[in-house]
């Protein structure tokens, strides 16, 4: 069996042993990038038959340099860090793992909603500073009877809807026509109505041309001054300059973000100084169980392609029309 080289651009977990095990059966050998920069990937990719990538940018130049590439596998759902169009032009399959960490992301969004509504971070900081006054977090209102607006009614959005419905919250959803099927306890509305009526807005849409910057000044000014914004999807969905103004000027009561642009905000970024903002470091996907599932399923997709089998999920199925992929149709 000829050795197949799988370039791992980056990962955030302790070990790539699960990937190595999955790829052993197809003669796969992992080649681990040290920093995942374009310069490094351009140097390494010519010897790669496949790529596994988490957050690193697999640019058009990297794709073009991968003369042996058969497949680019994403550790995750979104593929906005991969030059999918370039891969498609070159007949390279792009795979992802679209149905992992559903509970984790929904639970994280719910935790942020509860933290905002109950002023958990404000009270925690006050108590540690010796301030035990109730007024630190006042006013607080019960969540039961309030309205959650879910932007994007995919699998994660639906999972969150079921969880907040259990708290007695009314659920509005704005979604594409493809997603707009009847859902128990969910009312599908326009994005504008959702902005006006929701007490909490939670984002669960992929990043693309239509969604980039969709939460900007116009949307934020429509929200209630008592409302909260939660983002566990992609940082670029939000115009961060507009959000900074909204938090400073009281257009909304607060926000909680797990994702940013850039991925890691510099410590001096003014957003981080907002007292009405809760931040977490892009960890909504994380549990020990979900990471193991992600590693195995992403590697299994790559292993399938390298061994002539159809992977679980193909982002660009149009490439299957090419003769080289006739066996996967």
CATH assignment at residue 131: 3.40.50.720
Domain check: are 296 and 270 in the same one? no
Domain check: are 268 and 311 in the same one? no
Domain check: are 143 and 21 in the same one? no
Domain check: are 230 and 141 in the same one? yes
Domain check: are 181 and 269 in the same one? yes
Predicted confidence band of residue 99 (pLDDT cuts 50, 70, 90): confident
Pick the range with the lowest mean pLDDT from 62-71, 104-113, 173-182. Answer: 173-182
Active-site entry in 282, 295, 297, 300: 282
- Averaged confidence pLDDT in the chain: 95
Domain check: are 251 and 125 in the same one? yes
Domain check: are 147 and 11 in the same one? no
Which of 241, 258, 279 terminates a domain? The answer is 279
Residues 287 and 262: beta-carbon distance below 8 Å: no
Active-site entry in 141, 263, 289, 324: 263
Domains of the chain: total: 2
pTM over 0.75: yes
Which of 279, 297, 316 terminates a domain? The answer is 279
Q: How far is Cα 96 from Cα 87, in angstroms, rounded to an integer?
A: 14
124-172 pLDDT tens trace? 999 999 999 999 999 999 999 999 999 999 999 999 999 999 999 999 9
Residues 9 and 51: beta-carbon distance below 8 Å: yes
Domain check: are 247 and 292 in the same one? no
**Strand extents, DSSP E, the chain:** 4-8, 28-32, 50-53, 71-74, 93-95, 147-151, 170-174, 186-188, 200-203, 228-231, 254-257, 277-279
Q: How far is Cα 44 from Cα 42, in angstroms, rounded to an integer?
A: 6
Is 324 a catalytic site residue?
no
pLDDT at 64 over 80: yes
242-285 pLDDT tens trace? 999 999 999 999 999 999 999 999 999 999 999 999 999 999 99
Q: What residues make up the domain containing 175?
A: 102-279
Active-site entry in 158, 234, 297, 300: 234
Domain check: are 260 and 314 in the same one? no
What does DSSP assign to residue 185?
Answer: T
Domain check: are 41 and 124 in the same one? no
Domain check: are 24 and 78 in the same one? yes
Domain check: are 23 and 127 in the same one? no
Is 17 a catalytic site residue?
no
Q: How far is Cα 71 from Cα 63, in angstroms, rounded to an integer?
A: 10
Is 142 a catalytic site residue?
no
């Amino acid at each position: 069996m000829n050795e197949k080289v799988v370039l791992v651009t980056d990962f955030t977990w302790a070990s790539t042993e699960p990937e190595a095990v999955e790829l052993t059966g197809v003669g796969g050998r992992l080649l681990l990038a040290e920093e995942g920069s374009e310069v490094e990937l351009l140097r390494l990719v010519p010897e790669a038959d496949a790529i596994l990538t988490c957050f690193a940018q697999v640019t058009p130049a990297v794709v073009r340099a991968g003369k042996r590439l058969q497949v680019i596998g994403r550790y995750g759902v979104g593929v906005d860090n991969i030059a999918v169009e370039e891969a498609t032009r070159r007949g390279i399959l792009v795979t992802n793992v679209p149905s992992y960490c559903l509970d984790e992301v929904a639970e994280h969004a719910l935790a942020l909603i509860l933290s905002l509504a109950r002023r958990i971070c404000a009270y925690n900081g006050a108590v540690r500073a010796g301030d035990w006054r109730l007024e630190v977090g006042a006013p607080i209102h019960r969540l039961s009877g309030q309205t959650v607006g879910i932007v994007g009614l995919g699998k994660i959005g639906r999972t969150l809807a079921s969880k907040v419905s259990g708290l007695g919250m009314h659920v509005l959803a704005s979604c594409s026509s493809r997603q707009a099927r009847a859902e128990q306890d969910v009312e599908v509305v326009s994005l504008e109505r959702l902005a006006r009526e929701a007490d909490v807005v939670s984002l669960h849409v992929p990043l693309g041309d239509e969604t980039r910057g969709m939460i900007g000044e116009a949307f934020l000014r429509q929200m209630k001054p008592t409302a909260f914004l939660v983002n566990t999807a992609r940082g670029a969905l939000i115009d961060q300059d507009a959000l900074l103004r909204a938090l400073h000027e009281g257009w909304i009561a607060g926000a909680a973000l797990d994702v940013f642009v850039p991925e890691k905000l510099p410590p001096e970024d003014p957003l981080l100084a907002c007292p009405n903002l809760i931040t977490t470091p892009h960890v909504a996907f994380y549990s020990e169980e979900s990471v193991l599932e992600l590693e195995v399923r992403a590697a299994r997709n790559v292993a399938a392609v390298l061994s002539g089998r159809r992977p679980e999920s193909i982002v660009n199925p149009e490439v299957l029309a090419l003769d080289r992929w006739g066996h996967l149709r």
